[in-house]
Amino acid sequence: MISNPPQASLLQRRIYGTLGLSVLVALYLLVGLTGHDPWRGDDARYFGPIHSILQGEGWLFPRIAGEPFPDFPPLYYWTAALLATAFKFLLPVHDGARLASALFTALAIYWIARAAERLHGRPARTPAAMLMLGSLGLVLHAHETQPMIALMAMQALVLAGLARAPQQPLVGGVQAGVGGMLAVLAGGLTGALLTIPLFPLALALSPDCRNPRTSGGLLIGLSLALGLGALWPIAVHLTTPEIFSLWLREEWQQLTAGALAFDDIHRLLELLGWSTWPLWPIALWGLWRGRRQITRLHWMLPLSAVLLTALWLYLSGDLSPTAALPLIPPVALLAAGGAPTLRRGAANAFDWFAVMTFAVFAILIWIAWTAQAFTWPPGLARHIAKVTPNFVLHGGLTQALIAGTICVTWFVLVWRLPRTSSRGPANWALGMTMIWCLAVVLLMPWFDYGRSYRPVARSLAQALNRQADECIATTGLPDAVRSSLDYYAGIRSSLIRGDSTTCRLLLMYEDRRPSGQKPAPEWQSIWEYRRGGGKQLETFRLYRRQPS
């Protein structure tokens, strides 16, 4: 039977066009986002303020278990609390709250795609979205409770507004101004540093913004960003001056804690390299191609954003993977300008490197699954048993069937990809989505088993049922533990200050690095819980003060 070419062409445009890209983004964002407890680390840590808002406290200034938590302003937490309330009929509270990460990631991808279209033309729109989707530094954080995602999205909104200003000065300026205001509400002083300086830089450095109409629109946007961005700090200062002072000290300390030493510069370069892969090689190519027009807005704007973020990383000394998230939107914008101009040999190499890379990663994920299902290879199986003792894999055949379908679908889609300038970026987006879906299907049960504090909280709650005291002192608990104990069991502890406490219960925590602290002889151990193994070992002990 001979197929109809026009129909085949229409089907291909739908699969690989806007509809297909939208489905791919939705698949990437939603798979693995729900269906598991808050994980140890940032996922549990940043759920604490959301839980507090849902309990009726900390709506203006974030709190964890009743204590002020100055890491981020409340934009992400407000959004997550609204989504958790809206979807509580369908999802647990922690899963509904995590939808905020998917929302802000989707907005960041959309705004960067629109900015790329305005700066580099229509051919750059799809590569911008797909390159951002395929970036290595985004995938894990887009699927956890992560306020830095909100700052990244607002940065993308500012870039989209500034890119729009030469054609529509007032609309673009207002859009960028709203983005700057929300960046402050998402990231505090960091958000202001990464976005607001882009307005004067665009006015001073780019000839595209020096005409009266464009400069007027940008000045209006700058006024909005500064004026509206100050509303939340003013509200906090008027209601709780002591908390405002705490927040201001924490923000200033983060920015001035100490710049990176010269010996640590290579660590910064490593962070930039892997977190923005595969964006930065194409971005460098684009800058080289446009070096004679470097002051034009389409190169100067994203380059300024990259330099601002790198400067912030250097001054703050923060080399965590989360801190590199604001690098992804501007580097993707630079790469979007370089992707359509790649020479055929480089484009083909980029394309095949993506296919081979993700094929190797898929094989490694399958091997990790066989270590759980068939204890092969033996060395890896022993390591898994050491890290997660007592873990038992269920539903292995169903997992294998679903995972096999994912791999076959990926292979067919890659094989039928149209040969356009978007082929390489599309391969990275398809590959990253395939790898993430494969990891969720094959490894999520094992990963979730060792990452939740629910068993700890329930066991501690049972131990406390036999105690008449409600006051629990602690020498210090990680924020993720405090958040989980409050969420699962309503347990809140008070930090010991001055080596003395009136509480008759003491909760102590140790990770793989024992603190060496031991309570006085008057404290008797009444409960102990160990979770994980090897480098992931954590120990919780509850003591009761004996009468003199």
Phi, psi of 169 (to 5 degrees): -60, -45
CB 136 within 8 A of CB 27: no
- Let me know if residue 318 belongs to a domain: no
- Residue 73: inside a domain, yes or no? yes
Closest CA to 195 of 172, 230, 226: 226
Most distant pair of Cα atoms in the chain: their distance:
93
One domain, residues 113 and 217: yes
* pLDDT confidence tier of residue 1, bands split at 50, 70 and 90: very low
Q: What is the pLDDT of residues 252-294, one digit of tens each?
A: 888 777 778 878 888 889 999 999 999 999 999 999 998 888 8
Do 121 and 106 have their domain in common? yes
**Same domain as 160, residue 53:** yes
Residue 273 is encoded by which pair of tokens? 């390299």
| Mean pLDDT of the region 486-507 | 86
My answer on whether 381 and 461 are in the same domain is: no
Domain end among 232, 256, 280: 256
Last residue of a domain, one of 256, 291, 318: 256
Give the per-residue pLDDT at 324: 95
Amino acid making up residue 246: L
Say which amino acid occupies 383.
H
**Is the confidence at residue 372, as pLDDT, over 80?**
yes
- Does residue 238 sit within a domain? yes
- DSSP letter for 320, please: -
pLDDT digits (tens, 9 = 90+) for 65-89: 999 999 999 999 999 999 999 999 9
Give residue-wise pLDDT tens across range 433-451. 999 999 999 999 888 887 8
Query: Are 172 and 246 found together in one domain?
Result: yes
Crossing angle of the two packed helices 423-449 and 125-133, in degrees rounded to 10:
20
Position 4 scores a pLDDT of 42
Q: Based on the domain organization, do 165 and 48 belong to the same domain?
A: yes
Q: Which amino acid is at 499?
A: D
Q: Residue 375 belongs to what domain range?
A: 344-449
Last residue of a domain, one of 216, 237, 256: 256
Pairing of strands 63-64, 67-68: antiparallel
Domain presence at residue 458: yes
pLDDT tens digits, residue range 450-491? 788 999 999 999 988 877 667 899 988 999 999 999 999 999
How many structural domains comprise the chain? 3
| Spatial separation of the C-alpha atoms in residues 43 and 80, rounded to whole Å | 12
Looking at the structure, tell me whether residues 92 and 239 fall in a common domain: yes
